[in-house]
């Protein structure tokens, strides 16, 4: 009787390590950003600031991240990605530490700018590493696992961060992130191999010329255009999510961690599942299904009044499943756009576009949403309509991106770089 050949592993042991450490790295970056949202209910009172001022705190990170990403894009393909990653991660840790000791609103604003300058570039480096090391046919799975960082931050980071903030002050979550990031830093330093295969494809082109050519590339501009709208949803709704839940939906500060934790559990499952399905049935198909689900829930969620905890949790779960699915699929599609020698530059500029667009969206959201005398946030439904409209536009634009990727013969060069 013929024996079946042993099933080939999808990933090697080292690739599993790379996915795990990149996911954990992404977790620290995402947690640093996302922890501001649940802290909004505390910071508005603690620092005696308005919703517009809080929106500027969020925007400060986004704008500084966008500017630094743009400046770094020309150099992104000139260095070993590991060294570049460690450099920016060092600055991120320092910036987060400054947030952890900020005595007032002005210092916190400064600290968020420092954190953004360094932290905002790291996401683009992570995506460049993924594109270098994994072929397109496996990239959906990889993106799914790395995107688990968002869910994990909800399950572990945000609830624990809220608990720390409620018991030890709002500075404590940032100090927790500093501790976790330091551990990740040394693991990367000693275990991650150099990632420099792309250096053989480089010319002596001036970094700023490289940046200019990348920005002006018509094919790349299509990707940047989609990214501009992809950033709108999260940056508009997320900053005031906690304040809206507490003041408008009637969720208490003690119940808030439960909402984030349960939502995160389902999002953690949704990320890898969406990645696997997108590799099987198509990334665009998963994108439009996730986007459609997100629109339906967003329109319901942003028009609620006092709502039972169970209903809030159910709606939050489905909303984040939709958002997670569209992010996993869109990021996997966007990584297929740049040529190997332009990946770092493309990812850097793309990250900048996302951060700057998100910063503008946060600032606009801060001007649209007002806090009434009774503490309730006003005009929140308008945000839901704006976000839903942008999601519809991304479905249309991503259709053409998908068509472009399908017609692009990237398999051979991708496998060559991965090898």
pLDDT digits (tens, 9 = 90+) for 194-243: 887 767 666 566 666 767 778 888 888 888 888 888 877 667 777 777 78
Distance of CA 177 to the CA centre of its chain: 16
A 10 A CB-CB count for 195 gives 20
Which range (188-197, 258-267, 388-397) has the least confidence?
Answer: 258-267
CA distance 180 to 190: 16
Q: What is the mean pLDDT of the chain?
A: 81
Q: How many CB atoms lie within 10 A of CB 136?
A: 20
- Residue 92: pLDDT band (50, 70, 90) is very high
Q: What are the start-end ranges of the H helices in 282-342?
A: 283-301, 309-334
| pLDDT at residue 110 greater than cutoff 70 | yes
Q: Which domains does the chain have, with CATH numbers?
A: 13-195+202-418 (1.20.1250.20)
The CA-based angle 22-25-26, given to 5 degrees, is: 85
> With 90 as the cut, is the pLDDT of residue 187 above it?
yes
pLDDT tens sequence across 363-416? 788 788 887 778 788 888 888 898 899 899 999 999 988 888 877 654 544 444
Spatial CB neighbours of 158, under 8 Å, sequence gap ≥ 6: 31, 34, 35, 38, 257, 260, 261, 264
pLDDT value at position 417? 43
Q: Tell the burial category of 353 from Cβ atoms under 10 Å away from its Cβ (0-12, 13-18, 19+).
A: buried
Model pLDDT for residues 279-307, shown as the tens digit of each residue: 888 889 999 999 999 999 999 998 998 99
Mean pLDDT of 328-353: 80
Model pTM greater than 0.75? no
């Amino acid at each position: 009787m013929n024996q079946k050949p042993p099933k080939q592993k999808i990933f090697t042991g080292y690739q599993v390590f790379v996915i795990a450490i990149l996911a954990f790295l992404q977790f620290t970056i995402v947690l640093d950003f996302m922890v501001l949202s649940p802290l909004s209910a505390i910071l508005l009172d603690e620092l005696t600031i308005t919703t517009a001022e809080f929106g500027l705190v969020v925007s400060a990170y986004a704008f500084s991240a966008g500017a630094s990403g743009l400046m770094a894009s020309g150099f992104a393909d000139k260095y070993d990605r590991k060294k570049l990653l460690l450099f920016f991660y060092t600055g991120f840790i320092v910036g987060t530490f400054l947030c952890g000791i900020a005595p007032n609103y002005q210092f916190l604003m400064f600290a968020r700018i420092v954190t953004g300058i360094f932290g905002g570039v790291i996401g683009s480096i992570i995506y460049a590493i993924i594109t270098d090391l994994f072929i397109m046919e496996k990239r959906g799975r990889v993106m799914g696992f790395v995107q688990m960082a968002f869910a994990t931050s909800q399950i572990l980071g945000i609830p624990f961060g809220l608990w720390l903030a409620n018991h030890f002050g709002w500075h404590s979550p940032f100090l927790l992130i500093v501790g976790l990031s330091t551990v990740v830093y040394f693991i990367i330093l000693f275990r991650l191999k150099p990632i420099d295969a792309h250096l053989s494809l480089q010319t002596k082109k001036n970094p700023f010329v490289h940046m200019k050519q990348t920005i002006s590339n018509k094919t790349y501009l299509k990707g940047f255009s989609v990214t501009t709208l992809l950033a709108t949803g999260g940056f508009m709704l997320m900053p005031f999510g906690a304040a809206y839940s507490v003041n408008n939906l009637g969720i208490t500060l003690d119940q808030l961690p439960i909402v984030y934790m349960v939502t995160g559990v389902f999002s953690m499952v949704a990320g890898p599942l969406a990645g696997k399905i997108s590799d099987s049935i198509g990334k665009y198909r998963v994108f439009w299904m996730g986007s459609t689900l997100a629109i339906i829930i967003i329109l319901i969620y942003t028009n609620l009044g006092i709502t039972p905890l169970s209903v809030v949790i159910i709606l939050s779960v489905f909303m984040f499943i939709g958002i997670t699915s569209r992010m996993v699929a869109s990021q996997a599609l966007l990584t297929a756009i740049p040529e190997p020698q332009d990946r770092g530059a493309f990812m850097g500029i793309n990250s900048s576009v996302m951060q700057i667009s998100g910063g503008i969206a946060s600032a606009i959201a801060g001007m649209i949403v007002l806090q009434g005398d009774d503490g309730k946030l006003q005009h929140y439904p308008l945000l839901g309509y704006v976000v839903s409209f942008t999601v519809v536009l991304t479905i249309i634009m991503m259709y053409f991106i998908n068509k472009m990727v399908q017609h692009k013969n990237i398999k051979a060069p991708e496998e060559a770089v991965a090898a």
